[in-house]
Amino acid sequence: MHDGSLTRFRGRGSEAVTPAVNAGSPVPGSAPTPHITGRPTMSKSTMPESASADPLSARWTMLTIVSLGFISLTLNWFDIAASFPLIAPDLGVGIPHLAVLISLFLAGYGLAHIPGGILTTRIGMKRTLVLGVLLEAVAGVLSGLATDYTTLAIFRLLAGIGGSIFIAVAFGAVTVWFERRELTLALGIAGGAAFSVGVALGLYGWTVLQEATGWHTALIIGGVFGIVVAVITAAGFRTPVGATTLGGVAVTHAGLRQALGHRDLWRYGFVMLGGYGAYFTASQLLSEYAVTVRGFSPAAGGLLAAFIGLAGIPGSILGGWWADHSGSTRAFVLVPLLIMAVTLGLVPFVPAAALWALGIGIGFFLIFSFAAWSSIPSRVAGIAHEHIGTAIGLMLTLAAVGGFLVPLGFGGFVDGVGFTGGWIFLAVATFTFALLGLTRRRQGTGSAAPSAKHLTDTVISD
């Protein structure tokens, strides 16, 4: 396959990219070209051939560093929710003002995904990783130092921008190290398991901490943790040997077209919109519903919220491993979202004791899906490494629209018709947007096929 010729084909119920077969020796550092069996293969990795000089352990070291960044991201995202009972009387605000703090973080988080990806292309992957973690962490410290609502609101917006910059490049950082094999598993560990650990720490661990230290100190501690992670990232993270474009290259119109114009990225971005927003709504408000409507104690409500986050750990690992060994990336994105929609719709109708199982299911199935979803730019769209941050940034931006609008829709239904209407709204939103993934791409509707240097031949089937 040294001639780099490619053939895109569309089979019944599938979208596929497969290399044209020719005589030639196997690519150095990879297995010989297999027969096409309907399972994902990697005939030509986008990783530089010189990356084979890296020891195998280096991949897992880099994954550990990026995973620490994900923990910092969600810890400094969700720790403020644990402090709401103390912030409200201290600053003299009510539920509407607290809801705005959530939306402001998500507004900043949605705004900077694509600029963060472009910044990665320009200044390099490592610098952008450090910048994103550090900005959110410093904003977390400043949030703890805030003495009035307006100041706190500004710093929550800045924290969201920092988190947005980090997460787009973080998925790219995992991709460049694991594209030869175990990509979806690695994405699941970092963007799923570590992400969920931070959620659980913020929602439950920081509840205990802020009761002992006060909300100001608790937020400062979360920010300091992020600063430590930024230092570790600056000292320990690197890109693979020979990946010179990941140190920073010029931003070109052709590169932007590839990253922002591919229809698969737009389609899967919208697919996640409903479920993404429903997850963040349920993770922060299911406990409130359980306490106010179903008779849970505050402690039990907090533990329920923590279980939503912790359920993402096995969900991400199982989803990532299974997707890596399957021929259908699309199925591993869509089926969990559809199951999640059913789970959300059952919330107001089951006995109170069943909320534990439903909460765990919401966290499990969203992150199960997210592991495969985050591999779309590499496994499906074949985006060049230096533009993966921008590509995943586009998908995250579309999903973040749901993160901003779906909680507002939920609140509107709760105010109008009660919690039952709110949970049904979340179920319908998740189900409706997931159905977009069932639409079949016509041949030639995506952007131009990338070269073999930047392409994998993952098969996507129903």
Tell me the pLDDT band of 353, cut-offs 50, 70 and 90. very high
Q: What does CATH list as the number for 57-461?
A: 1.20.1250.20
Residues 377-394 pLDDT 10s: 888 877 877 677 788 888
**pLDDT above 80: residue 150:** yes
Q: Which is more confident, 396 or 71?
A: 71
pLDDT over 90, % of the chain? 39
pLDDT tens digits for 152-177?
999 999 999 999 999 888 988 898 88
Mean pLDDT confidence for 226-248 = 82
Average pLDDT, the chain: 80
pTM over 0.95: no
3-state secondary structure the chain: CCCCCEEEECCCCEEEEEECCCCCCCCCCCCCCCCCCCCCCCCCCCCCHHHHHCCHHHHHHHHHHHHHHHHHHHHHHHHHHHCHHHHHHHHCCCHHHHHHHHHHHHHHHHHCHHHHHHHHHHHCHHHHHHHHHHHHHHHHHHHHHCCCHHHHHHHHHHHHHHHHHHHHHHHHHHHHHHCCCCHHHHHHHHHHHHHHHHHHHHHHHHHHHHHHHCHHHHHHHHHHHHHHHHHHHHHHCCCCCCCHHHHCCCCCHHHHHHHHCCHHHHHHHHHCHHHHHHHHHHHHHHHHHHHHCCCCCHHHHHHHHHHHHHCHHHHHHHHHHHHHCCCCHHHHHHHHHHHHHHHHHHCCCCCHHHHHHHHHHHHHHHHHHHHHHCCHHHHCCCCCHHHHHHHHHHHHHHHHHHHHHHHHHHHHHHHHHCHHHHHHHHHHHHHHHHHHHHCCCCCCCCCCCCCHHHCCCCEEEC
